[in-house]
Structure 1
Amino acid sequence: MYITITAQKIGESYSSSVSDFVAYLEKENENKPLDETEYFFNQQGDEFLAKDVIKDIDGNTSKLKKNEPRFYSITVNPSKSELKHIQNDTEKLKMYTKTIMEDYAKAFNREIEGKPIRIQDIKYYAKIEHERTYKGTDKAIKENAPYYKEIVKLRNDIQKIESGKLVGDIEKKHKQIKNLEHEAPHKINGIMITQGMAKVGEQSHIHIIVSRKDQSNRYSLSPGSKYKASEVKFNGKTVKRGFDRDQFFGQAEKRFDGQFKYDRNFVETYQSKKLLTKNPQRYYASLIGLPNNEKAIAFKLLSQAGVSVPILNVPTSQTQLVLKTINKMKQGITRALNSGSISI
């Protein structure tokens, strides 16, 4: 499970309306029959229209300044293993989303009129997408880039030859393009992978739009707060503040495991990802210390994510070699997470 929380921006400025983001989330509904349409949903219903989402979120921004986010985007990315476990069931994903949004509310160290934040205080709309496309950060795109660059140059040359601006053999250049497409290291069904191409396999994920303001449009609730859950003295009174992302991310993982009886491997856990960031050596030691059956699963998951699993019998006396190996693995896992090729 990989979850992100971001404030939506257009360039350097915060979006003044949620309309562009909603339009982006509607792209999969284009040309679909009505019975296959994916609607927005939340605790109150399962078939909200895009126009209603825009009206509700945009109308819930009382007293927010131009330099403050109007809404946040939460993206929930189940791994391929998790999707396989629930058979890519849309209704299960909806149920799961509603459950973790209850935990989202609980992660606020805030009170409204003396009561802890509850799901009833959160204004949000969620939508499930079933497709992903290749981005520039994906390994396949980066490794195909030199071939694609040369192909673009050849195509430009062909256009110039056709317009009389350049002299050359068009047929020869077409053959060169075919050869480059064949030589490119990453292809789907024989077709070279390029940016924007749809990824194969189950790619379901959830987008959640959360209003910065609560349901009453009176209180500001920021999951992007620089403060973790804490208390501070303000005008002589103790005031609660902050949002605990660790609590939210960790609980989301536990919810999935509990709801769907999922047996999570070490490399899939939120705690292991934190350990990888803070102490790669301990992460590496924990990985090689797993029981053989769990280690085999861990290696398989890492391999599926495009991570080159290092040789594990490196002599511990060769400190520099060990650290280099660990760092290489860390970089591979980080790229897998950031690229959206989520398998861990």
Structure 2
Amino acid sequence: MPISKPHSTLGATNTSSCVDLALYLEKENNELDLLQQKVISSLEKIALEKRKQFFFTHSENNISTNEVISTIDNNIKRLGKKDAKYFAPTINFSPQELKHILSTITNKVDIENVWALNDNEYISFNDKIKEYTKEIMSNYAKNFNRADKGLKTGNDLVYFGKIEHFRKFKGTDEEVLNKTYKAGDFKPGINSHVHLIVSRKDKTQRLKLTPTTKERSTTRSIGGNTYHVGFDRMNWINMNEESFDNFFQYKRPEREKFINQYILKKGSPIEKASLLNEIETKEKLIKNTIKYDQNHTHNTSKGRSR
């Protein structure tokens, strides 16, 4: 399932400017700049330039880092000095999900990394991830249950997304500890994911939105006014999984479903055993159905050829 994590920030405080986070998210473009300096051919330089990723919003692409910083840092009406000003969700895909997305845009088999995609395939791959990200951010908005206050879709938020295609090994990774790779080496395979910077305030700057709150859904009344607070992170992940399956027409295996993964990881021994039995029964039924359909189609074809 796509793991959507509503981080407060990535290793820094989120009570002041987002400048450090925004500049940090330029790291892949900076590495492409270094590669451009090492090549001589102008065609190679242009090819590397086309691989750069820029920030995007619900309605715009190719947004500069300076605009991101200025917009987020100025969308803070009535926030105190110690209040969170923004959050930094991430969207991480499983290898199976990334493989499926790629299968919808190319007939290539076993793509090793994004460098194997031609320019058109690369653009299409990024465009699909951006469109799906917009669905995730609409789910984000809906999950606050503030539609009556005007918060209905991602277009009512102030956010910027940035796609990254590479990950590096850390010193604590098993592959580094067993000396298969060194810290800082690029991880093999397709590792595309999305970073987001989301303002604490909505576009109107009337609503405070906190995805890291412990409250899932609570209605409060103060001075005769009723308002809703809360954010259900598990519900958001479930919504995003459903959106992925619908958007990409993905037939998700039972073992990949978030709710099943959650039970298999944190459920009681009885719950785990019961779920595994249920999953195995469903998988067996699906396998038998596919086998029957294949045999039936084969026999029907033979009958027509006579």
How far the C-alpha of 1:85 sits from its partner, in A, is 0.5
Alignment correspondent of 2:43: none
Matches within 5 A, 1:268-307: 268-281=256-269, 282-291=271-280, 294=283
Alignment correspondent of 1:132: 167
d(CA) in 1 for partners of 2:150 and 2:201?
16
Question: Aligned AA for 1:131?
Answer: F
d(CA) in 1 for partners of 2:78 and 2:257?
39
d(CA) in 2 for partners of 1:252 and 1:81?
16
For each residue in 1:254-299, what CA deviation from the matched residue of structure 2 results, as whole angstroms up to 9, or x when unmatched?
111111111212232111233135414223442244337948xxxx
Matches within 5 A, 1:157-306: 184=179, 187=180, 193-281=181-269, 282-291=271-280, 294=283
2:69 is paired with a residue whose SS is helix
Classify 1:137/1:289 alpha carbon distance in 2 versus 1 (closer, same or farther; 3 Å): farther
The answer to whether 1:26 aligns with 2:26 is: yes
Classify 1:38/1:9 alpha carbon distance in 2 versus 1 (closer, same or farther; 3 Å): closer
d(CA) in 1 for partners of 2:86 and 2:238?
23
How far the C-alpha of 1:119 sits from its partner, in A, is 2.4
Displaced runs of 4+ in structure 1, greater than 4 A?
Answer: none
Conserved 8 A contact 1:130-1:202 = yes
Conserved 8 A contact 1:9-1:15 = no
Question: Aligned AA for 2:260?
Answer: S
How far the C-alpha of 1:245 sits from its partner, in A, is 1.7
Alignment correspondent of 2:130: 94
Aligned length: 247
The answer to whether 1:62 aligns with 2:98 is: no
How far the C-alpha of 1:220 sits from its partner, in A, is 1.2
Conserved 8 A contact 2:135-2:154 = no
When structure 1 is superposed on structure 2, of 265-274 and 250-259 the one drifting more is 265-274
Conserved 8 A contact 2:6-2:88 = yes
How far the C-alpha of 1:22 sits from its partner, in A, is 1.0
Q: Sequence identity of aligned pairs in percent?
A: 35
d(CA) in 2 for partners of 1:41 and 1:261?
24
d(CA) in 2 for partners of 1:98 and 1:46?
12
Alignment correspondent of 2:140: 104
Question: Aligned AA for 2:72?
Answer: I
1:66 is paired with a residue whose SS is coil
Question: Aligned AA for 1:102?
Answer: S
Alignment correspondent of 1:118: 153
Classify 1:77/1:235 alpha carbon distance in 2 versus 1 (closer, same or farther; 3 Å): same
The answer to whether 1:5 aligns with 2:41 is: no
> What is the TM-score with the length of structure 1 in the denominator?
0.66
> What is the TM-score with the length of structure 2 in the denominator?
0.74
How far the C-alpha of 1:230 sits from its partner, in A, is 2.3
> Aligned Cα RMSD in Å?
2.4
Classify 1:62/1:197 alpha carbon distance in 2 versus 1 (closer, same or farther; 3 Å): same
Conserved 8 A contact 2:10-2:88 = no
Classify 1:266/1:138 alpha carbon distance in 2 versus 1 (closer, same or farther; 3 Å): farther
Classify 1:115/1:49 alpha carbon distance in 2 versus 1 (closer, same or farther; 3 Å): closer
Classify 1:10/1:254 alpha carbon distance in 2 versus 1 (closer, same or farther; 3 Å): closer
Classify 1:111/1:203 alpha carbon distance in 2 versus 1 (closer, same or farther; 3 Å): same
Conserved 8 A contact 1:76-1:205 = yes
Larger radius of gyration: 1
For each residue in 1:70-110, what CA deviation from the matched residue of structure 2 results, as whole angstroms up to 9, or x when unmatched?
11011000111100011172211111001111111100122
Question: Aligned AA for 1:270?
Answer: F
Q: Return 5+ residue gaps in structure 1 as ranges.
A: 145-183, 188-192, 296-344
Alignment correspondent of 1:49: 64
When structure 1 is superposed on structure 2, of 198-207 and 63-72 the one drifting more is 63-72
1:47 is paired with a residue whose SS is coil
d(CA) in 1 for partners of 2:11 and 2:250?
38
Question: Aligned AA for 2:95?
Answer: K
Conserved 8 A contact 1:72-1:209 = yes
d(CA) in 1 for partners of 2:273 and 2:4?
23
Classify 1:78/1:137 alpha carbon distance in 2 versus 1 (closer, same or farther; 3 Å): same
